[in-house]
Amino acid sequence: MRNFEHITPPDLESAVDLLSERGTKSIAGGTDLLPEMKSRLRSPRRLVNLKALEELRYLKHNARKGFQIGALTTLAEIESNELIREKIPILAQAASVAASPQLRNMGTIGGNLCQSVRCWYYRAPEFKCWLKGGDTCYAIEGENKFHAILESSPCCAVHPSDLAPALMALGASVHITGTDEEGTVSLEEFFVRPKASNRQMTILGANELITEVQVPMLDGDSSGIYLKAMDRKVWAFALVSVAVQVSWDKERVKGARIVLGGVAPIPWRVPAAEEIVRDQAITEEIATSASEAALEGAQPLRDNGYKIALAKALVKRALMTLAERAKK
């Protein structure tokens, strides 16, 4: 790791001011950034320590606004928070299956949403892949077992976050603060497919920070589930994950939000599948056709065809599980 200046900002405003200077990076838990620095994928000259901003570490809830979660809140705090477990268990589930206990004690929700992709070509310093400013996404023709089956061009890396699909299913937004602007955007606006002029998976500018994640109040009777398929039981990134949040009118679906992880460069919401379950009591048949609709247009690369069957099975299982619970 190259050496750097370590900066403790007194407040948020100075933090974003500092980030406006080239070669400056923010560090929260450091669980993603430090490995990148060790392998010299990034060599910032200055690190701005967000952990000094105690004012960004909070978890609030009220009946009007729902949840407001400060960006510095750790995954462990989210996983163990009683109110989150009771009111939006889908988020506690997603946090509890991310990474490992140690990493959850360190990693923050803000860093989780802004983490880099795990694609091995991206992570290997010797490949100057498209995402790092090169010409080629080596994974499209190369080793792509863990890569995208949807929207896989110009870069087929998938966004690795477990929290993002769950938060998107909850209709969450992020509050962003920059040097002269601030505002709130939905996660659907926050995550964007990378393009030549913006080679990253978010709209975040170099001198902008997420300060808060907001989860709106849910409609009366609502339930959700996060399912994650992994190579091993724990401490692995999702091969595929699915987050489903349903609002109910007794046993009928009033509305559903269905989001897939591990299939596209960004958390992938599937409106076609949501449409199929709307106003229905979920039967096996309906769950099956929703799962088919969710994967419509999926195009496997050489090594990741298994993801299609896996994703369909997870969507179906998630819907059936929620329907079973709704009957009780």
Ligand X SMILES: Cc1cc2nc3c(=O)[nH]c(=O)nc-3n(C[C@@H](O)[C@@H](O)[C@H](O)COP(=O)(O)OP(=O)(O)OC[C@H]3O[C@@H](n4cnc5c(N)ncnc54)[C@H](O)[C@@H]3O)c2cc1C
Binding residues for other proteins (CB under 8 A) = 1-11, 13-14, 17-18, 27, 30-31, 34-35, 37-39, 45, 47, 49, 51, 76, 99-103, 105-106, 176-183, 234-235
Structure token digits, residue 34: 């430090």
Question: Tell me, what amino acid is at 266?
Answer: I
Alpha carbon distance 8, 53 (integer Å)? 9
Residue 184 C-beta: closest distance to other proteins, Å: 8
Residue 25 touching ligand X (CB under 6 A): yes
Residues 6+ apart with CB under 8 A from 142: 121
Among 88, 157, 187, 209, binds ligand X (CB under 6 A): 209
The pairs formed by 49-57 with CB atoms below 8 angstroms and a separation of 24 or more are 49/6, 49/7, 49/8, 49/9, 50/9, 50/15, 50/26, 50/108, 50/110, 50/209, 51/27, 52/8, 52/9, 52/10, 53/9, 53/11, 53/12, 53/15, 55/11, 55/12, 56/12, 56/110, 56/211, 56/212
3-state DSSP assignment of residue 137: coil
Among 103, 192, 313, 320, binds ligand X (CB under 6 A): 103
Residue 99 touching ligand X (CB under 6 A): yes
Residue 177 touching ligand X (CB under 6 A): no
- Shorter beta-carbon distance to other proteins: residue 24 or 291: 24
Residue 122 touching ligand X (CB under 6 A): no
Among 15, 16, 24, 28, binds ligand X (CB under 6 A): 28
- Shorter beta-carbon distance to other proteins: residue 48 or 293: 48
Structure token digits, residue 171: 């209709």
Helix (H) or strand (E) holding 30: none
Residue 58 C-beta: closest distance to other proteins, Å: 18
- Residue 154: cis peptide before it, omega within 30 degrees of 0: yes
Among 15, 16, 33, 149, binds ligand X (CB under 6 A): 33
Q: Would you give the binding string for ligand X spanning residues 279-308, x where CB under 6 A is met?
A: ------------------------------
Q: What is the CA radius of gyration of the chain?
A: 20
Residue 280 C-beta: closest distance to ligand X, Å: 32
Residue 204 C-beta: closest distance to other proteins, Å: 12
Alpha carbon distance 306, 304 (integer Å)? 5
**Contacting residues toward ligand X, per CB under 6 A:** 25-33, 35, 50, 71, 75, 98-99, 103, 106-108, 110-112, 114-115, 160-163, 204, 209-210, 237
